[in-house]
Amino acid sequence: MKRYLFFLIFFFSLFTVLSQSSTIKGFVYNKANGEPILFANILLETTSLGATTDDNGYFVINKVKPGSYNIKVQCLGYKDTLIAVSVSSSKILNLKIELLPYIQQLQTVDVYADKESARLDSRVSVKKITATDIYKIPSIGGQADIAQYIQVLPGVVSSGDQGGQLYIRGGSAIQNKVLLDGMIVYNPFHSTGIFSVFETDIIRRADVYTGGFSAQYGDRLSSVIDIATKDGNKKQTSGKLSFSTFGASALVEGPVLRETDNRNYTLSYILTAKKSYLSATSSSLYSYVDNDLPYDFLDVYGKVTLVSKEGSKISLFGFNFTDDVKSFRNIADFSWKNTGLGANFILLPTGSSSLVEGTLAYSDYNMDMDASSSDGKQHSQIGTFSGVLSATSFFDKDQLKYGLEMIANKTTSLFSSMAQEQIDNSTEMGAYMMYKGFWGNLLYEPSLRMSYYASLSEVLFEPRLSLKYNLSKSFRLKSAMGFYSQTFIDTKSDRDVVNLFTGYLTSGPDLYGGIVSSFHGEEINNYVEKSKHIILGAEWDIVKNLTFNAEIYYKTMTDLISVNRDKLYDNNSLNSSLPEYLTKSFAIEEGKAYGGDLSLLYSDGRFYLWAIYSYGKVERENEVMTYSPHYDRRHNINILVSYQMGLDRSFEISARWNYGSGFPFTATEGFFEYLPISTPDYDYTKGNGVLYSAYGTLNGQRLPDYHRLDISIKKRFNLFTRSVLEIDLSVTNVYNRNNMFYYDRVTAERIDQLPVLPSLGMTLKF
């Protein structure tokens, strides 16, 4: 034990010694509102030294020799800034740099910062999104939303306009992890499938990892969506009011305490709310839709942030998200509520260039379904407490990040088949370390995560690795691989393509209704789901402003726990001799997913074109057969175009066209009447039976292909010095394509997705 303690002390002492060399560090902010600026380039003139700001606007330049220098700061959309500094021996110089937004429009734009970041970051299967990116997509219902943008990303498949879920590179919806300011958010997309719980204008950045993510993230098999919000305007009060035929939203932000000569800190706030009133307007504005659009939601989010002059800060945030769907397709009423409260912080230790970050959060998610069918009432609740503490050390261009994470869950479930609520508690602890280094033209990012699932007494070591090789300034090769795990499962069967109810459970041998103890004759020793990712790719800057990106991937999934669709008999002593897969409520499956994504991006500041083609194949294997899950879409194409017109670029038109090959589905081959003759009081000569469907081969057929065109036209008017009015006219499904959603198994009625839906919106920013 003493030997390990010695190495630990030596390890951290080495970081401390290395961090004492002459260093320039600091934060870069927007001078207009005090928000951190991401991906700004900081160059030390007459040297080869420099850095790029991270997600917090933070930068570090190490190994600076004593002397006087000029620091040049560049970022797209801001005026170049030159700062004179003097560096002393073995000292750390802390800077606070403010950039002024560049209002004058240029004829051409050189996206230098983005090109530099492409060489210095691995960027394997990750898309970094800002609010500006989201506004390039046609704003369905007059409201640009990250849910609509994510559906465009390579490898992402959405199952539908109503109640649609996101499936990323062959993973099910439960395998996607969503973080808001470090807090886990459950079911963050509203029942319409085109709106999320996140207000676009508060998003500082959103990182969407479609695979190969580092050891910083755990407890998910497929993807991570990590969203960070703004701190609030530190300079002046500002806001936004928005109204459309779909809903309304409001935002206000500003300083509570401004920085002064006598006050070396600021306190700011941001508050948002958005409300849908489709259930009230659809009957009059969209009366031609087959059924009313019974969707109502209300999202409220608030945050206060205290920032010191040196850049350390602490934020307190909370939210309340609700969703209500009344009589969806005359099947059931659905409602869910998600509340949360959290705090995160960034600390800059004195005399060090290291960065310490942390998050403490609690969220509570409740969902209810009240069905008119035999499913009856269903309820699912999960309360999660999470804590994360991490530190990042900087060595020249290299970085070392390490941290600890703890997650405690309490799930409560009640279904019509249960005699009483089932309550489960689970705890997960994780420790991770990741290193980013350079060896000539090679960028390498090895990382390791240790996950301890306390309720299952299972410890897993999950190594991961990302690589990028810069063959030239314009061509780069990249790859990623890793091991992943999770214990989180949902309660939906794959047959439920249109089920809006999303219930959550944690895996284990004590699941209600039982779980099989073997798979293909082999005993199951643990109940942790696992996956492996292998990704290869290339980036090519063909010409100025035109970039081509290609990736191929292969993913295996083992020990997957799912609702058992093959169950035929009750799990009791009378049926103990039968195979478990015929009596237990939960089964074990294996799966694999493979495919590739191609994308072409052109952006010159005025014209924006993004074309994406994705090919994917997903297979799942249970005890009986190999099949394709309902989200297995072979071909998916997205073309996004945006163009700004006029000298002031106040008129903008954008369009998105999406094509997707048909989803697999299980056909209904016929019907039969079930007579409950086992019931003692049943009189088969007078009683009526229950109508049951006879299913064909599981997902043995395919729905027709899907395609849709959306268009949005925006016009901005400058009313006063700080006020802008924007009018938005958008049309969803312009040519009114009848995209099939599903067949009603009882009535054999074809149910289509959304028809042509025009909308008008107005936004006032002040």
CATH 2.60.40.1120 fits 2-104, yes or no: yes
Which H/E stretch holds residue 280? helix 278-285
- Of residues 184 and 103, the one with the higher pLDDT is 184
Domain ranges of the chain: 2-104, 126-415+425-663+703-765
3-state secondary structure at position 604: coil
Sheet holding 176-180, edge to edge: 126-129, 203-209, 223-229, 176-180, 183-184
Looking at the chain, the whole-number percentage of residues with pLDDT higher than 70 is: 89
Q: For residue 29, give the nearest of 1, 62, 56 by alpha carbon.
A: 56
Chain position carrying tokens 């027709």: 704
Tell me what the mean pLDDT of segment 21-27 comes to. Answer: 83
CA angle 759, 760, 762 (to 5 degrees): 145
- Confidence at residue 385, expressed as pLDDT on a 0 to 100 scale: 96
- Confidence at residue 87, expressed as pLDDT on a 0 to 100 scale: 87
- Confidence at residue 350, expressed as pLDDT on a 0 to 100 scale: 81
Q: Give the whole-angstrom CA distance, residue 670 versus residue 367.
A: 33
In the predicted structure, residue 331 carries a pLDDT above the cut 80:
no
Domain 126-415+425-663+703-765 fold: Maltoporin; Chain A (2.40.170)
- Of residues 195 and 149, the one with the higher pLDDT is 149
Q: In 381-439, which residue ranges form alpha helices assigned H by DSSP? A: none
> What is the pLDDT confidence band of residue 167, given thresholds at 50, 70 and 90?
very high
CB 273 within 8 A of CB 250: yes
pLDDT digits (tens, 9 = 90+) for 198-238: 999 999 999 999 999 999 999 999 999 999 999 999 999 99
- Confidence at residue 76, expressed as pLDDT on a 0 to 100 scale: 79
Tell me what the mean pLDDT of segment 553-582 comes to. Answer: 88
Looking at the chain, the whole-number percentage of residues with pLDDT higher than 90 is: 49
Tell me what the mean pLDDT of segment 548-565 comes to. Answer: 94
Taking every pair of Cα atoms in the chain, the longest distance, rounded to a whole number of angstroms, is 101
Distance from chain centroid for Cα 86: 43
> What is the pLDDT confidence band of residue 143, given thresholds at 50, 70 and 90?
confident
- For the record, the structure tokens of 494 come out as 């794959």
Q: How far is CA 389 from CA 357, 464, 724, in A?
A: 6, 20, 41
CB 25 within 8 A of CB 60: yes
pLDDT digits (tens, 9 = 90+) for 272-325: 999 988 777 777 777 777 666 667 889 999 999 999 988 899 999 999 999 887
Average pLDDT, the chain: 86
CB 597 within 8 A of CB 154: yes
**Beta strands 706-718; 750-752: pairing state:** unpaired
- Confidence at residue 465, expressed as pLDDT on a 0 to 100 scale: 97
Which H/E stretch holds residue 189? none
Q: Give the whole-angstrom CA distance, residue 278 versus residue 328.
A: 13
In the predicted structure, residue 578 carries a pLDDT above the cut 60:
yes
- Burial label for 383, CB within 10 Å (0-12, 13-18, 19+), is middle
* Residues whose CB is less than 8 angstroms from the CB of residue 5 and which lie 6 or more positions away in sequence, other chains included: none
Which H/E stretch holds residue 50? strand 50-52
Q: Give the whole-angstrom CA distance, residue 90 versus residue 289.
A: 70
User: Which segment of 57-61, 165-169, 299-303, 372-376 scores lowest on mean pLDDT?
Assistant: 372-376
> What is the pLDDT confidence band of residue 743, given thresholds at 50, 70 and 90?
confident
Tell me what the mean pLDDT of segment 66-81 comes to. Answer: 88
Tell me what the mean pLDDT of segment 604-619 comes to. Answer: 94
Residue type at 277 in one-letter notation: Y
Q: What DSSP string runs through 449-510?
A: EEEEEGGGTEEEEEEEEEEEEESSSSEEEEEEEEEEEE-EEE---TT-TT-----EEE-STT
Tell me what the mean pLDDT of segment 497-518 comes to. Answer: 80
Extended strands (E) in 283-421: 295-308, 313-328, 332-347, 355-371, 377-395, 398-414
> What is the pLDDT confidence band of residue 498, given thresholds at 50, 70 and 90?
low
Q: Give the whole-angstrom CA distance, residue 231 versus residue 263.
A: 18
Handedness of CA 192, 193, 196, 200 (dihedral sign): negative
* Residues whose CB is less than 8 angstroms from the CB of residue 382 and which lie 6 or more positions away in sequence, other chains included: 186, 364, 365, 409, 410, 411, 412, 504
pLDDT digits (tens, 9 = 90+) for 430-470: 999 999 999 999 999 999 999 999 989 999 999 999 999 99
- Confidence at residue 17, expressed as pLDDT on a 0 to 100 scale: 43
In the predicted structure, residue 2 carries a pLDDT above the cut 50:
no
pLDDT digits (tens, 9 = 90+) for 647-671: 888 999 999 999 999 999 888 877 7
Residue type at 238 in one-letter notation: S
Residue type at 518 in one-letter notation: S
Q: How far is CA 228 from CA 33, 36, 198, in A?
A: 17, 12, 10
pLDDT digits (tens, 9 = 90+) for 91-125: 888 889 999 987 544 444 444 446 666 777 888 99
> What is the pLDDT confidence band of residue 4, given thresholds at 50, 70 and 90?
very low
- SS3 of 578-591: the string is CCHHHCCCEEEEEE
Handedness of CA 123, 129, 133, 134 (dihedral sign): positive
User: Which segment of 210-219, 693-702, 721-730 scores lowest on mean pLDDT?
Assistant: 693-702
- For the record, the structure tokens of 573 come out as 């002593």
In the predicted structure, residue 1 carries a pLDDT above the cut 60:
no
Distance from chain centroid for Cα 341: 19
Q: For residue 342, give the nearest of 364, 319, 360, 357 by alpha carbon.
A: 360
In the predicted structure, residue 371 carries a pLDDT above the cut 80:
no
Q: Give the whole-angstrom CA distance, residue 531 versus residue 486.
A: 9
- Confidence at residue 11, expressed as pLDDT on a 0 to 100 scale: 43
- Of residues 750 and 311, the one with the higher pLDDT is 311
- Confidence at residue 8, expressed as pLDDT on a 0 to 100 scale: 42
Handedness of CA 74, 104, 145, 341 (dihedral sign): positive
Q: Give the whole-angstrom CA distance, residue 27 versus residue 95.
A: 7
Q: Give the whole-angstrom CA distance, residue 595 versus residue 593.
A: 7
Q: What is the pTM of this model?
A: 0.91
- Of residues 740 and 9, the one with the higher pLDDT is 740
CA angle 359, 201, 314 (to 5 degrees): 25
Strand partners, 381: 366, 412
> What is the pLDDT confidence band of residue 247, given thresholds at 50, 70 and 90?
confident
In the predicted structure, residue 18 carries a pLDDT above the cut 60:
no
- For the record, the structure tokens of 149 come out as 């943008």
